[in-house]
Amino acid sequence: MDVFADLRAEYEHLDGVLAGLPAAQWAHPSAAEGWTVADVVLHLAQTEEMAAASVAGDESVFELIQPGQVDAMAADVVAAQRDVSPGDLLERWRAVASVTPGALAAVPPGTRLRWITNRMSAAALATTRLAEHWTHAHDITDALGIPYPDTARLRHIAWLGHRTLPYAFEAQGVEGGPVRCALTSPEGEIWAFGDPAAASAITGPASDFCRVGAQRLAPGASGLKATGPYGPQALGVLRNYAV
């Protein structure tokens, strides 16, 4: 699967939703605690501008970011810039979202791009951006009762959640080890990640796996089954982002 093409498709999907929102709905509370729909779009625009800056080689936007303070800093930046009309806000997000997928795809192989407090490949950064947009798209559409069907693009997000499990174990101070995943896609396929011989496993709907990783669904409320010495702990630390 082409993550850069799928990133563009995710943006186009969200754009179709945002373009149809009446002005009053931009002020509606989103599912992201403390943020309106407009705040969520502003956050997406701000972080997409950071991704574009990283691709351009400008790392100055990351200088003030401290580990463990990312969420607080994001909230502060949104609060400082939220006095923008819906039309201007949508155009701000579109201006950068229309170019980042292509810019990421053009990054030379082997290049490690700065993102928050880490470095990663262009494909990994594209996956991270897709995961963030998917999560916040649901913060908007779930709050407004607008359908936003899951697609095969979730495979990228599920891969990211599984790929970052070792880092998540370490960051949370939780003992961990190899975990294999066998996740059922929205189309009924099985997406497998990890060593098939691993003693720990997570099985169930990929959509639930991604929502648990986005911290939008509690593991116990999901349809996921975790087994082995590290499966339950993996669900506890699972996240769809690489910081």
pLDDT digits (tens, 9 = 90+) for 41-71: 999 999 999 999 999 999 998 887 877 778 8
238 Rama class: left (phi>0) / alpha (psi -120 to 50) / beta: beta
Pairing of strands 200-205, 179-184: parallel
pLDDT averaged over the chain? 95
Confidence class of residue 242 from pLDDT cuts 50, 70 and 90?
Answer: low
pLDDT digits (tens, 9 = 90+) for 186-206: 999 999 999 999 999 999 999
CB 212 within 8 A of CB 219: yes
Q: Choose among 150, 140, 161, 131: nearest CA to 207.
A: 150
Confidence class of residue 106 from pLDDT cuts 50, 70 and 90?
Answer: very high
On the question of pLDDT at 133 being above 90, the answer is yes
What separation, in Å, do the N-terminal and C-terminal C-alpha atoms of the chain show? Answer: 24
Q: Identify the structural domains of the chain with CATH numbers, from first to last.
A: 3-144 (1.20.120.450), 154-237 (3.30.1050)
In sequence order, the 6+-apart residues with CB closer than 8 A to the CB of 190 are 182, 183, 184
Q: What percentage of the chain has pLDDT greater than the value 70?
A: 99
Check residue 60 and report its DSSP letter.
Answer: G
CB 30 within 8 A of CB 139: yes
**C-alpha dihedral, 160 to 223 to 220 to 128, nearest 10°:** 20
CA distance 94 to 233: 39
CB 235 within 8 A of CB 224: yes
N residues, the chain: 243
φ, ψ (nearest 5 deg) of residue 240? -100, 30
